[in-house]
Structure 1
Amino acid sequence: MARGELRIHLGAAPGVGKTYTMLEEAHRRAERGADVVIALVETHGRKHTAAMVGDLEVVPRREMTYRGAAFTEMDLDAVLARRPEIAVVDELAHTNVPGSRNTKRWQDVQELLDAGISVLTTVNVQHLESLNDVVARITGADQRETVPDAVVRAAEQVELVDMTPEALRRRMAHGNIYRPEKIDAALGNYFRTGNLTALRELALLWLADKVEDQLGKYRADNAIDATWETRERVVVALTGGPEGDTLIRRAARIAARTRGSDLLAVHVTRNDGLAGADPARLARQRLLVESLGGTYHQVTGADIPQALLDFARGVNATQIVLGASRRGRFAQILSAGVGVTTIARSGTIDVHLVTHEGANRGRRRGPLPAALSRSRRIAGFGTALLGLPLLVLLLRAGPALSLTNDILLFLVAVVMVALIGGLWPALLAAVGGSLALNWFFTPPYGRFTIAEGQNLLALAIFVLVAIAVSWVVDTAARKTRQAAQASADAQTLATVAGSVLRGERPLIALLDRLRETFALDSVTLLEDGAVVAGVGQPRCERPADADIEVKADDNVLVLIKGRTLQASDRRIVEAFAAQAAVALKQERLAGEAATARPLAAADKLRTALLAAVSHDLRTPLASAKASVAGLRSRDVQFDEDDREELLATADESLDRLGRLVANLLDMSRLQAGALGVTPADVGAEEVVPRALDDLGPAGRTVTVHVPDDLPMLHTDPGLLERVLVNLVGNALRYSPPGRPPVITGSSHGDTVELRVIDHGPGIPADRWDDVFLPFQRLGDRDNHTGVGLGLALSRGLTEAMGGTLTPEETPGGGLTMIVSLPTRSS
């Protein structure tokens, strides 16, 4: 069975017309003969949207009851049974009512797609998981309903339903989105022009990335290698040389000329495994690229220009930035170089050759490392000096051989010398062997002359072959040694990276690993001349105290004491130092983040408090004021029953207001650590009835099973009463008719447990921790009272009294809150 296709109508904000556009598309497909049904459409009371449903077939919704209230959801089984060609499903990010087969509506849609049913749906940009926190920072409103980006990216079609902020605000002002009483608040908060502009840009950029993915897939599927200039992508090639900073900044300026362009830095590593670039300089250049908003990449290749162009074409680059060659003019005559070769092969990609201070000045190469050890070179010279005379004696004493055989034996001797001592001993053996062949075995004998041309050719070939073999052997030995050094360096850096990532303090871990790796006495990090961190003893307080000074950044130095390092080791130390500078910045950022986290939490708490209190303080206050104003009015005559009802309303509203203010004050005291707790010995059977009396008539419906012989509690009676009032009030709110809450008490060692049991819909176990967060009201579709402080305050008060408050599932359904408190003897 073929999987259905998903078409998503993406909007930047509510009211842009996603549902309307989706229904238009549904009508178009129905007119073309497709079997289209409406599985679920939310009109939100918008008459134009409701009218667009028209004569399309509508699958009846499934009715569900949750916490005593009725809800409707899409009837997934009915849609699957109907098996239309296309189903219209609104609000992809919607969270289904608990008890539904799937938690989220997008999971329902996946089932429809798996069944071969195509789906038309809608989603707002604020519901995309990757943008959820960004939208929250922009608008100040948290969106709890999200859909994974992968679900939306997997859609065959994503259409942006766009509208300018000004047009959307006009639509809002005309009452086409929200009810009249919500318009002013919406225009002054979420629907501000700046918010809508930012959301629109987010939607456009996200969709651009989606389109880019589709374009990349199309190019890959059709094997298209040519550059399509859909977006400027600037690739800067880094060699690890000192010109890298200049190239990066130049490439960044080129990329900045076009909005939305990308900056990519790439370093091509030779595939022979030999280290050619400075790892410390590359690390610093990587940081520079990332600080300018670019990305760093590393590829491997034998042909550097081709590897660079392959990378550029793979990312659909439009421009490449290269540094002018550092080689001298004579070297450029012999070889075109990377820059010229890249330009010749670049095709439609523009290549910029950027000059710099080191251009055309020649490469400053250090002395080549010796291929073999000193002892092996001495052995090679000894073999040449002793072996050649011995070979001459053996050939002179034995039966006479042809010149060809003599040359072959001398060639074997030269190869043996090359294998033992390398290039220079082999060259000595080649020269000495040619002279010996000329003197002893080439007519006329005893003279350095050659009578026959064939013998001259044979000796010349011998010399050339001997030199070539010596050079190959020496080069192979040198490459082997370099590869071993590069492998050891890579292993060291990999070990360092692993130790840093696993450590809680990466800077100290890095310095300590450096000290252990090179057996140093101490490693010290200085910033602006002041010691920041160090390991080992004795530490260096200034550069003059150090054996080695390595610059890690513009103002960061690493001082090493203990021994002098070789040049090859120093390169690795410089890489360590560069990473130490990075680790220092990371620790600073982590410290700043830790400092900012409490401030962010406090700011979030204040925002939630204002949002909740703006409604929940005003509601009881408005009710009380309206009742008192009615009683004072001289225009209306109330009978006794009306007066009693108004007084009761005012009294109840003021009680609610008093409880709310008390909860807020207690929560603020808890968070400030200023809540006073006065423990005393009290019986649970005394506190429970007082708590139920505070709840009024509703409290008398609660069933109580608290034995009189429970041990005495050592707690604050007033705070315990407050905890029970909140817990029982919450249980009463969600208990079904005819099944009131139950309070039980039991003793367990040094603690007494009071259980508040309800038989309501309960809360999933993975959400238990959420109910204790301030200003959280789970399942608040039917709950618009209270600011969500009750359970958070109850846990805080319980813990302040030395106890615990934990949730538990009620057998048969519901939620049980367990208050555990210490007894008098504990």
Structure 2
Amino acid sequence: MDIPTFSDRFTAKAPGKLTIFASYFPGTGKAHAMLEAARTAKQEGLDVVIGLLSCDRWPSVGKLAEDLEAVRCKTVTQDGRTESEIDLDACIQRLPQLILVDDLSHTNLGESRHRKRYQDIDELLKAGIDVYTTLDIQHIESIQDTVFSILGSSIPERIPDRVFDRASQVEFIDIEPERLQQRLLQQKKVSLLSNYSLSQLSALREIGLRRCADRAALYTQAGQHGTGYRSHEHILVCLSSAPSNEKIIRTAARMAGAFKCEFTALFVETKDFQRMSQPDKERLRANIHLAQQLGASIETVYGDDVAYQISEFSHLSGVTKIVLGRSGFPPRPWLRKAALTERLIELTPELDIHIIPDNGMNNLFSAKHREIMHMPRLSVLDLLKSVLILVSATLIGFLFYNLGFTEANIITLYILGVMLISVSTQSSICSFFASILSVLTFNFFFTDPRFSLHSYDSGYPVTFLVMFLASLLTGSLASKLKSHAKRSAQVAWRTKLLFETNQNLQKARTQEEILSVTAKQLLKIFQRDIIVYRIKDEKTVAPETFLADNTSSPDRYTSEKEREIAQWVAANNKRAGAGTETFSDSRCTYLSVRTGDQIYGVVGIAASDKPLDSFEASILLSVLGECGLALENKKNLEEKEAAAVLAKNEQLRANLLRSISHDLRTPLTSISGNASNLLSNGNLFDSKTKEQMYTDIYDDAMWLINLVENLLSVSRLEEGRMNLHVSTELIDEVVAEALRHINRKSVEYHLNVQNSEEYLLAQIDAKLIVQVLINIVDNAIKYTPPGSEINIGWQRKGDSIYISIADNGPGIPDQAKPHIFDMFYTASNQIADSRRSMGLGLALCKSIVNAHGGEITVADHLPHGSIFTFSVPAGEVELHE
């Protein structure tokens, strides 16, 4: 049996509902309550199955599950551990109404699709399946600091708060800690209680009840106010690579949950970010991921003045509360820079600033972290540059000294040298030591007594101090200026690329071009391999690969597994692949190109060797957002064009029906009236009257036949379904055949055929060209008064034969000539026989002539009248041996 495709799975049903059976400790009866509820649901007629259930520890649970169907599980072995994991594909193929999945916070083993079980449950919910699951409350992310303070250790398996808060229903299975202890002792589960005291169990129960109450309050307020958030509160948490930042983020998340307000996590990127050690970068990335899991929107700003950047962002974003950490180390009372918290209080006196002490479990790491973060980094190259510049300044100083320049010139020379060192070196420590060495060097070589560090002049100490401070200040300013210039160049370059991306996307005309432009820009920005999948009928099509290194092979990005991941992203509208918790062993990180829920494509970026950092991820999302908007605009334009075509077709249909309603009814009324008179009163009419009536019936019938023929011919030609039967024909015979079928009223006109002196042959479909001649001549008869002249002539010019039909009637107005060959267009409705023209004859003529590769035109026939001219390919005599 074939497994349903991703698109089939996720478009068939509405999302399922999640019910969590929660408690504060194993043994409280969560699984038992879940099974009882499942059995009740089955009795009510629901299709209930077990996706995964741990029955080994609790025999009573296994007994309750005996009469419920179970979907097969996968057995996974990793690092000597063997466990059963949920088989997602089997569950989705079975597609029950309700499925039971134990242990919501579990971390999957092996090469599972998702890293966490709650992500498996998300996929089941999206497939339209209701899920019952179990959870111990202490596994929720935001309360980990409190759990650590109670248990003395952290819990590795955690779930984001959003999973718990967005559940349709939470059943808290409560039991007194004393009774829980007795139950576990009776069931010989002493090992579960070995590390937990009664007070610890009571504390876990308390935070469990409080967390459930917080969730209930969230939904109560959401129901009362229409939303769970108050627009006048906005909490900002500051991100860093400090180990204690996890606690700060969780505290801010709990505050945001309590206030039900907007929550933002801000990272200020300084010049030291590029020199940050790899462990610090990994810790920062983990903190950013934690903030995202707890519902924060991540923002990044740039600048060395962290306090100023935070205050400016707070003012612009409407922040009302700032949460940040402060180390437990006492401040230095001398020569210390103002602390971040002190500056923030000065810059934002109107905001509430919450300072979380850096103590407890993180104090063990704080000293080491401070040492690493502030350890100056020196390179041999920077030292050589510094020495070379100081030596050069000293040599030039000797030259100035011998030339009789004053000491002020030499001091200025050393200050210039310190500025050059600040600009040319990477570490700020070089300019600091250069300031000291420049003072010592000046004292040693250029003050009396020379070549010693003594000085006779009592004013020299002040000179040395001013020289040192001037050197230090100018060096520091030069270093900051260099840093700002570099960062401004980077920001300008990134802005230029984004602007260039927008311009190129506007020039692209098709979906393929838009995705190709996006991939090329991403390749230019990130210098990583890019893979692009287009979406067609809700499925990914063959990918297009853009390689940063042309020597590498694209096959590793187009394997069956990589295609499956891209299809999963297209079906679920979520990122997956390297650096995520879904298909984390992939070679690429895959993201959807979308606007809202509409997905236009999937883009993969190589990230298995080096994951994307937060700034790269934000740039990637910005570019993909621009791509999504361009694709949506393209789609809207195509829909608008299609709507215009449909409107035009509807207009043509309306015109056709309106014309038919009159032009068919008039001759049919005449035919039926004459036929009725002949049938009922035929003996009352003389032979001449009868002949006239028969003639009228015949004329009306022929008019209807010509009308229907024109309609059918136009429709076939416009749809490209009319095949030309081309043969070599004599023009004289074609014109003569046409004149035998023209309107009987031609006897009232003077038709002149101007035969050419030579016989001309043409490569034409004779039947269709006869119809062209009939339509044009009938048109001349219809729009000119009786007695008018109609002249037909032809001549050869080059490889074409030009046939002209001229009349001396009133002519065609200049404003009507550009539209005379349009379908349903009529220049005048003043027709002698009271029948309106449908405007099909000349449109058909144009289509037939164009199908022959010729052209048809209309011009004035002086002194008055009109002349129609069309061309057909000339033919040659075919000789047969």
Using the size of structure 2 for normalisation, the TM-score is 0.45
Using the size of structure 1 for normalisation, the TM-score is 0.47
Structure having the higher Rg: 2
